[in-house]
Chain A
Amino acid sequence: MNPYRIVQSILVTEKGTELAEDFNQYTFRVARDAAKPDIRRAVEEIFDVEVAAVNVMNRRGKKKRVRYGTYGKRADWKKAVVTLKEGSEITLI
């Protein structure tokens, strides 16, 4: 599978930055149908790093009010927290 279809974007957030600094963990938005091994391979290929572990979580899309009394919903998505092996690093910014 195309690695760029699996890893959709890197999440640059306050929490993500702290994880990167403290635990060498990086958070990504990934394809909902991607499995952990797919994500590992994709990250290794795109960033040229060695992955130690992959944790994933499915996030429900937020409910958003479209107009008065009518609600819509953003798409569900999958988040992956990838732990890199020592010596590997991804430059976030």
Chain B
Amino acid sequence: MDPANITVVREEPEPCRVRLNIEVPAEIVADRFAAAMNGFRRQARLPGFRKGKAPDALVLRKFDTDIRQHVQDELIQMGLKEALGREEKHPASRVELSNPKQLRVDVNDSFVFAVSYDVDPEFELPDYRALRIEEADVAVDDAQVAGAVDEWLENQATFEVVERPAAAEDLLKVSYTGQLTEPLPDGEELPESAKALLSPSAETWVPLREPGILPNVVEQLIGCVAGDEKEVVVRFPEDYFEEFLRGRTARIHMTILEVQGRSVPELTDEFAKNIGAEDAAAVRAVFRQRLELEGRVQRYQALRRKVLEAVTDIPDFPLPPRLLAAETQTVFMALLQSEFQRGVSDEELEGRRNELYNQAREMAARRLKQRCMLLEIAKAEGLEVAPAELTEVIREMSRREKVPEKRLRRRLEESGRIYLIMERLLVDKVLNWLVARVDGTDEAPDEKGTFGPAETAASDAAPEAAAAAPDSEPAADEEGGD
């Protein structure tokens, strides 16, 4: 029984797709049948016979389907292992068995089956080593620092009761009652959500800043003083969040109970000490560091985008069809989800289904092309994911998902997701490598978007001020792989 006798005929029905027609010779089939029979006979419990003593003919009649299935599975595994071993390219997608329901294994006959799978495309890598990309260095000037500090101070504003007419940005404490100017037709009632906005309220707050919950009231309320009674007319715009009130007008009677003035703190040494920093200069230094860090992250992300675009700027090549279909489906679902979250109705989505699908297909093709390119570069440069890097990612996931690390690893291995994680790590590594080459640096931000030492120094200067400062938005991942 030599697997070398297995015959394999290779076909390429379409680009990046391989079909292997595999024939396992009759002697191997007979051998596997005999082994299977032996196994089943030893285990078989049939009435009238002790365990393992039933004659073959009886065992075969009783377990015919099971034995054939067992032998078939074995032969497919054996044939596939042998056939893939002879192939130069490993499957890039799941290996699919053709017509699995029509397969039949017979003792005295050879067993023929076929499998299909995607392979990575063949293409010529561009001269990525000669890639040069210019991206301006980060420079943070005093005006930017002052702007960031001011913005932060605005958020630290406090309100105090004042004895003066209300001005813009003030906060009014009012009691009010409201009603629609046009009565509702008989039988129609205000929905609860609209009622909550118009029903009498003994004490509520109205900020004199647009946009507010009550639209177009700021101008009508400016100049009021505590004790004033005011009737304001509210015209709800067509895009008002409460659907029932859209386009309607309401008359609201308000009694001004208090006028609170807004007081934005100034950045003085005393204020800085109150928030735990040494002096005002230290707070500014923290903001400068923060802005520089944000700038470096943005610069890095921009470089990554440009590198990716430059590297993949070669003529299109055929992509693995099944991988493309799977990726398209993933992107399509994500698009539908995001449209749905934007409030697009089911009917509209149904109408735009084809357009969205084509968009998803384009995006999927671009992603797949990028993935192929980067993995090819990894191969050419001998870049690999170190076991420690993978362990670190799994450790982080286990912390996040609150699952023991070993169990999570086993789960990932069983589901095959671990290979996806490894691939993503590798793609990321290649991109970092390319950026480091074009930029002449070795630095790359960690997953929190920080570069490490720079922020540590800044944070040490005034930890609480750093914590209180507005967080920067994490830069978007241009690959969008997740």
Contact = CB atoms under 8 A, between A and B. Distances in A.
Interface of A: 11-14, 16-17, 92-93
Interface in B44-62: 48-50, 53-55, 57-58, 61
B61 A16 contact: no
B116 to A, nearest CB: 41
Contacts of B53: 14
B58 A14 contact: no
B49 A93 contact: no
Contacts of B61: 93
A29 to B, nearest CB: 12
7 contacts: A12-B58, A13-B49, A14-B48, A14-B49, A14-B53, A14-B54, A93-B55
- Size band of the interface chain B makes with A: under 10
Contacts of B49: 13-14, 17
Contacts of B57: 92-93
A93 B48 contact: no
Contacts of B48: 11-14, 16
A93 B58 contact: yes
Contacts, number: 18
A12 B48 CA distance: 7
Given A12-B58, A14-B54, A16-B48, 7 more contacts: A11-B48, A13-B48, A14-B48, A14-B49, A14-B50, A93-B55, A93-B58
Nearest to B59: A93
A57 to B, nearest CB: 17
Contacts of A14: 48-50, 53-54
A14 B58 CA distance: 11
Contacts of B58: 12, 93
Interface of B: 48-50, 53-55, 57-58, 61
B61 to A, nearest CB: 6
A93 B48 CA distance: 14
A81 to B, nearest CB: 15
A37 B140 CA distance: 117
The SS class assigned to the A binding surface is: loop
A14 B61 CA distance: 16
A89 to B, nearest CB: 14
A12 B55 CA distance: 10
A12 B50 CA distance: 12
Nearest to B60: A93
A16 B49 CA distance: 10
A79 to B, nearest CB: 13
Contacts of B54: 14
A52 to B, nearest CB: 23
A54 B61 CA distance: 29
B41 to A, nearest CB: 12
Nearest to B56: A93
A50 to B, nearest CB: 24
B56 to A, nearest CB: 9
Contacts of A13: 48-49
Nearest to B55: A17
A85 B123 CA distance: 79
Contacts of A16: 48
A16 B478 CA distance: 77
Contacts of A92: 57
A12 B58 CA distance: 9
Nearest to A11: B48
B381 to A, nearest CB: 66
Contacts of B55: 17, 93
A17 B54 CA distance: 9
Contacts of A11: 48
A14 B50 CA distance: 7
A11 B55 CA distance: 14
Contacts of A12: 48, 58
A13 B58 CA distance: 10
A14 B53 CA distance: 7
Nearest to B57: A93
Closest 10 CB pairs of A and B: A13-B48, A93-B57, A14-B49, A14-B53, A93-B58, A17-B55, A12-B48, A93-B61, A14-B50, A14-B48
Nearest to A13: B48
B237 to A, nearest CB: 83
Nearest to A12: B48
A21 to B, nearest CB: 9
A17 B49 CA distance: 10
A92 B48 CA distance: 14
A14 B46 CA distance: 10
A45 B50 CA distance: 32
A11 B48 CA distance: 8
Contacts of A93: 55, 57-58, 61
B164 to A, nearest CB: 98
B62 to A, nearest CB: 10
Pick from B54, B55, B57 the residue with the most CB of A within 10 Å. Answer: B55
A64 B256 CA distance: 96
B476 to A, nearest CB: 71
